[in-house]
């Protein structure tokens, strides 16, 4: 067992050394980093949403809350009183989020609503039943290139290292 652990440590050290040598030997150009930025910006969700929700355990509870909202109830107050989710005490506020950060059913419901509109039917997810208020929406704006340049450089280095490893395997 000890002999196997020593062998694993030896291989790990060799692999780390090869990776370190490779990374220090390659040059990452500004164009490589810009290309990574452009690629990641192009796959970012086009919209972000600001929403609130009220999470309850049953469809009946959610339907009753929708009835209260139809009669002029205040969403934030109802969320504080009735929501069982962690955002309940803050009036159900979820802040800004891209659609892919939420579970599919929730995300689809938010996208189907108009700004300022709440769901007219309860939305079921693995967490329970939701009543959703879409407060606002906006186009996603990628962070400025300068603020993510160092992270992008590391990502480009990691991709090039993976390509190198793949070429060694083949």
Residue-wise pLDDT for 109-145, tens only, equals 999 999 999 999 999 999 999 999 999 999 877 788 9
CA distance 117 to 83: 18
pLDDT band for position 107 (cuts 50, 70, 90): very high
φ, ψ of residue 67 to 5 degrees: the values are: -60, -40
Segment 4-23 shows an average pLDDT of 95
Burial of 131 (0-12, 13-18, 19+ CB in 10 A): buried
Q: What is the mean pLDDT of the chain?
A: 93
Alpha-helix residue ranges (DSSP H) falling in 26-144: 30-42, 59-70, 75-82, 104-112
**Close Cβ partners of 95 (under 8 Å, ≥ 6 residues apart):** 50
Task: Name beta bridge partners: 85.
Answer: none
């Amino acid at each position: 067992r000890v002999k196997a652990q020593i062998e694993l440590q030896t291989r790990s050290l060799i692999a780390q050394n090869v990776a370190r040598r490779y990374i220090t030997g390659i040059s990452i150009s500004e164009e490589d980093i810009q290309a990574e930025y452009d690629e990641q910006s192009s796959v970012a969700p086009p919209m972000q949403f600001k929403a609130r929700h009220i999470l309850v355990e049953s469809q009946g509870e959610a339907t009753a809350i929708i009835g209260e909202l139809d009669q002029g109830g205040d969403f934030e107050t109802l969320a504080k009183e009735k929501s069982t989710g962690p955002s309940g005490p803050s009036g159900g506020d979820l802040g800004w989020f891209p659609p892919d950060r939420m579970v599919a059913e929730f995300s689809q419901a938010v996208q189907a609503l108009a700004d300022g509109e709440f769901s007219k039917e309860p939305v079921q997810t693995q967490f329970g039943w939701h009543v959703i208020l879409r407060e606002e929406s906006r186009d996603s704006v990628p962070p400025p290139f300068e603020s993510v340049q160092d992270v992008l450089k590391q990502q480009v280095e990691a991709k090039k290292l993976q390509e190198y490893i793949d070429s060694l395997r083949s």
